[in-house]
Chain A
Amino acid sequence: MSDTTIKVPVMADVTAEGKTPEVLFWTGCAGSFDQRAQRVTIAFVKILNALNVDYAVLGPEEACTGDPARRAGNEFVFQMLAQQNIMTLNTYNVKKIVTTCPHCFNIIKNEYPELGGNYEVVHHTQFLSELIKAGKLTVQGGEFKGKTITFHDSCYLGRANEVYEAPRDVLEALDADLIEMKSCKTRGLCCGAGGAQMFKEDEPGHKRINQERTDEVMETGANYVAVGCPFCNTMITDGVKEKDRQDYIKVLDIAEMVAKANGL
């Protein structure tokens, strides 16, 4: 399958051809620009492509959702970005959005409606879990078979929106041992990136938050940490590197795991 060239459909082109894609893949700023998160984007696109999902991306017409601005307290910058995005989305008559970023997921799902943006929004782990349940996506264990995986709940998927089972359902399909950290699900510990912390240094303290979380990861003795958020991915990857454990614990997004297991 990897021999074929994949072409990513862009909304403007697809619309010009008179087609309306079923689902918009909201790539997000991290997914578009961050080198690590780009690999997740690519993995997810490979899955969409392999399953012949009718999707498109906005590409240059996508702007940041405004999450870091609003959470830092800058409502003006948030409103500018959000209203611009809603105009774009409404112009294309978008109905359903899938995104690999829980921050984008939360804000489009919960905060855009009041500004006139009403869409069905799903996180990619929900999207994948639905495909598995519907029998459209089968996942072989591949390199994960018999290995141990721990899942890091991102705050904006978990507590913020109470999505705890979908990512775990996908991981279950990998034939690996799923082990939970000391703090998980409703009590999951933040990676330290939310609330625009990603974009500044920690305030003075005795430890970085990602180090605290990485300690919990290591306590499980898992071979893999599965994540569903580009920022958690960065934070935990950094934490593991600081402890020089990157050869023993791999930090992977659930989309990457599914793609790898299926040889995509």
Chain B
Amino acid sequence: MAIAQIIIFISAVIIATFFVLDRITTITYNIKLGKDETIHSDLSFRLKSMLLIAFGQKKMFKRPIAALLHLAVYGAFLITQIELIEIFIDGFIGKHRSIWALLHGWQPTRWLYTITINMIELASIGALFATFAFLWRRNALKLPRFHKPEMKGWPSLDANLILLFEIALVTFIMMMNGGDQALQRMGAHHYHQTDMFVVSYPISMFLEQFSMNTVLFVERVGWWGHILLVLFFLVYVTYSKHLHIALAFPNTFFTRPEPKGQLANMPAVQKEVASMFDESMAEEPVDMNEELPSFGAKDVTELSWKSLLEAYTCTECGRCTSSCPANITGKKLSPRKIMMDTRDRMEELGKYKRMNGADEHDGKSLISDEYVSKEELRACTTCNACVEECPININPLKIIVELRRSMIMEEADSPQEWNTMFTNLENNQAPWQFAQSERLKWTEELNN
């Protein structure tokens, strides 16, 4: 029986590892579809960004209620990893509470163990409460940011499933620890006498009225349910918006250090325009075989790897969208949708390329009716509210500007009023039709 359990456990771990590694390969491949971008920051800036923003959740606290609830789940998630170590060891060697067996002989380590498990139980109860609150906010209070058009279907189900997993995980932990404590008192073989675990203790008192086989069943369902769900969750998360639990760290590590107002330069255009001003540069022979660079981004391959990493990092919380002036006033633009479309398009193109060859292209693009429409792109005021809001430093504006550059420069698809503005800028050096010689006309008013 013990051998059978070890075999099942090891098989489950191998299967989960296989799927996770496969997904990591796919996600890495997809992010590498993007263009190079150098992040101009040093190690101390990077570590500071990661520690403060991802680990320390600094930006979450702009919305205190959501931040506290999230902290409860995040804290429980972090601390529960300790218990997983013991569960893994137990699973591999077919023993029970092997770390307790190691530590209980000496008073300080015995206390360490007991306090740790009690903290995990308390944190789990906090997480359970927060999870119910999250479900309530999402499904009963119907906070607007969770019910935008881009959230219909899978994104909403994805979010709810993760919350249900969380409830199941805590339930399994309680069955496991409650059953364990009951079995200790019932004198079941294999179950070491431990100290009291406060949260699951009442459960153990309730379970004591049943037969030992029933309690054993409850404890085993708890133990196996917990570990199998953890393994399943590890795989699931790589397909889910919940991937932020891992990618928030690299994403904040590679935070762009420039002021938010600074847009990326386009050196190719800079050089071409400079050659118009400076004849010596124009005299350089033009290489006719040189492939013309494309301007901006029409598809994900023309975005930077950082923008693509951000697309996988986005957990669809919608703070960006709820602060976007265009979205607030009913325009189609939603910064969250920009991130989701980028990720979905990347998945689609990545799959196509892996099946048909890296140089092949499916002929579709990110700017399209299926993904980001031009109406959305035209609506952005570049106000940086979305960039400011993102708790893990995602920059939807960077993608919007790159897509706009392609729309305007590659397709010459701009609203008539913008064309007029461009013409004025070229002819009069002002966005309006005023003569350059009239730039000082206001001085006539000065002494009136």
Residues of chain A having any CB pair with chain B under 8 Å: 5-6, 8, 10, 27, 29, 31-34, 38, 41-42, 45-46, 57-60, 62-64, 66, 68-77, 79-81, 83-84, 87, 106-107, 110-111, 114-115, 155-156, 159-162, 186-187, 189-190, 192-209, 211-213
C-alpha gap A40/B349 in the complex (Å) = 52
B residues 249-273 near A (Cβ < 8 Å) are 258-263, 265-266, 269-270, 272-273
Contact indicator per residue, chain B 411-442, by CB within 8 Å of chain A (1) or not (0): 00011011011100110011110101111111
CB distance from A197 to the nearest CB of B (A): 5
**In-complex Cβ contact of A192 among B259, B325, B405, B430 (8 A):** B325
Please tell me if the beta carbons of A195 and B431 are within 8 angstroms of each other in the complex.
no
Please tell me if the beta carbons of B404 and A197 are within 8 angstroms of each other in the complex.
no
Chain B residues within 8 Å of A107, by CB: 261
Given A41-B442, A60-B440, A73-B296: A201 and B429 interface contact (C-beta under 8 Å) = no
Given A68-B421, A110-B262, A212-B328: A59 and B439 interface contact (C-beta under 8 Å) = yes
Please tell me if the beta carbons of A83 and B277 are within 8 angstroms of each other in the complex.
yes
C-alpha gap A6/B448 in the complex (Å) = 10
B residues 362-396 near A (Cβ < 8 Å) are 375, 378-385, 387-389
Can you add 10 more A-B contacts, CB < 8 Å, to A77-B426, A159-B384, A200-B417? A33-B432, A42-B446, A57-B440, A60-B439, A62-B439, A63-B429, A64-B430, A72-B418, A79-B274, A160-B384
Chain A residues within 8 Å of B405, by CB: 73, 75
**In-complex Cβ contact of A115 among B259, B262, B265, B325 (8 A):** B265
C-alpha gap A10/B442 in the complex (Å) = 13
* 6 nearest CB pairs, A to B: A160-B261, A195-B382, A205-B330, A206-B330, A73-B408, A73-B404
**In-complex Cβ contact of A77 among B266, B422, B447 (8 A):** B422
Please tell me if the beta carbons of A60 and B437 are within 8 angstroms of each other in the complex.
yes
Chain B residues within 8 Å of A202, by CB: 329, 331, 379
A–B Cβ pairs within 8 angstroms, 12 of them: A32-B438, A32-B440, A62-B439, A72-B422, A74-B414, A74-B418, A76-B272, A83-B277, A111-B262, A195-B383, A196-B421, A199-B418
Please tell me if the beta carbons of B329 and A207 are within 8 angstroms of each other in the complex.
yes
**In-complex Cβ contact of B381 among A46, A75, A192, A211 (8 A):** A192
C-alpha gap A45/B446 in the complex (Å) = 9
Chain B residues within 8 Å of A114, by CB: 265
Chain B residues within 8 Å of A205, by CB: 326, 329-331, 379
C-alpha gap A196/B382 in the complex (Å) = 9
Chain B residues within 8 Å of A45, by CB: 446
CB distance from B396 to the nearest CB of A (A): 13
B407 in the interface, Cβ–Cβ < 8 Å?
yes
**In-complex Cβ contact of A59 among B375, B388, B440 (8 A):** B440
Please tell me if the beta carbons of A29 and B430 are within 8 angstroms of each other in the complex.
yes
Please tell me if the beta carbons of A209 and B269 are within 8 angstroms of each other in the complex.
no
CB distance from B176 to the nearest CB of A (A): 44
B189 in the interface, Cβ–Cβ < 8 Å?
no
Please tell me if the beta carbons of B381 and A194 are within 8 angstroms of each other in the complex.
yes
Please tell me if the beta carbons of B381 and A193 are within 8 angstroms of each other in the complex.
yes
Chain A residues within 8 Å of B378, by CB: 200, 203
Closest to A111 in B: B262
Chain B residues within 8 Å of A200, by CB: 378, 415, 417-418, 421
CB distance from B267 to the nearest CB of A (A): 9
Given A32-B442, A159-B260: A76 and B273 interface contact (C-beta under 8 Å) = yes
B194 in the interface, Cβ–Cβ < 8 Å?
no
Chain A residues within 8 Å of B385, by CB: 155, 159, 187, 189-190
**In-complex Cβ contact of A155 among B263, B274, B381 (8 A):** B381
B240 in the interface, Cβ–Cβ < 8 Å?
no
Chain B residues within 8 Å of A58, by CB: 439
Closest to A32 in B: B439
B237 in the interface, Cβ–Cβ < 8 Å?
no
Closest to A194 in B: B381
Chain B residues within 8 Å of A201, by CB: 415, 417
Chain A residues within 8 Å of B434, by CB: 29, 32-33
Given A106-B261, A200-B415, A203-B326: A159 and B383 interface contact (C-beta under 8 Å) = yes
CB distance from A60 to the nearest CB of B (A): 5
Please tell me if the beta carbons of B418 and A155 are within 8 angstroms of each other in the complex.
no
Please tell me if the beta carbons of A33 and B438 are within 8 angstroms of each other in the complex.
yes
Please tell me if the beta carbons of B329 and A209 are within 8 angstroms of each other in the complex.
yes
Closest to B389 in A: A187
Closest to A160 in B: B261
C-alpha gap A156/B415 in the complex (Å) = 24
B135 in the interface, Cβ–Cβ < 8 Å?
no
C-alpha gap A72/B296 in the complex (Å) = 12
Chain A residues within 8 Å of B429, by CB: 62-64, 81, 84
Between B266, B296, B443, the greatest number of chain A beta carbons within 10 A of the residue's beta carbon is seen for B443
B184 in the interface, Cβ–Cβ < 8 Å?
no
Please tell me if the beta carbons of A194 and B445 are within 8 angstroms of each other in the complex.
no
**In-complex Cβ contact of A27 among B266, B380, B415, B439 (8 A):** B439
Closest to A157 in B: B261
CB distance from A17 to the nearest CB of B (A): 18
Chain B residues within 8 Å of A27, by CB: 439, 442
Between A42, A68, A196, the greatest number of chain B beta carbons within 10 A of the residue's beta carbon is seen for A196
Please tell me if the beta carbons of B447 and A190 are within 8 angstroms of each other in the complex.
no
Chain B residues within 8 Å of A73, by CB: 296, 401, 404-409, 414
Please tell me if the beta carbons of A156 and B261 are within 8 angstroms of each other in the complex.
yes
Chain B residues within 8 Å of A38, by CB: 442, 445
Chain A residues within 8 Å of B258, by CB: 110
Please tell me if the beta carbons of A160 and B439 are within 8 angstroms of each other in the complex.
no
Please tell me if the beta carbons of A189 and B447 are within 8 angstroms of each other in the complex.
no
B332 in the interface, Cβ–Cβ < 8 Å?
yes
Please tell me if the beta carbons of B442 and A195 are within 8 angstroms of each other in the complex.
no
Given A60-B439, A75-B269, A76-B273: A212 and B325 interface contact (C-beta under 8 Å) = yes
Please tell me if the beta carbons of A186 and B388 are within 8 angstroms of each other in the complex.
yes
C-alpha gap A193/B420 in the complex (Å) = 17
Please tell me if the beta carbons of B261 and A209 are within 8 angstroms of each other in the complex.
no
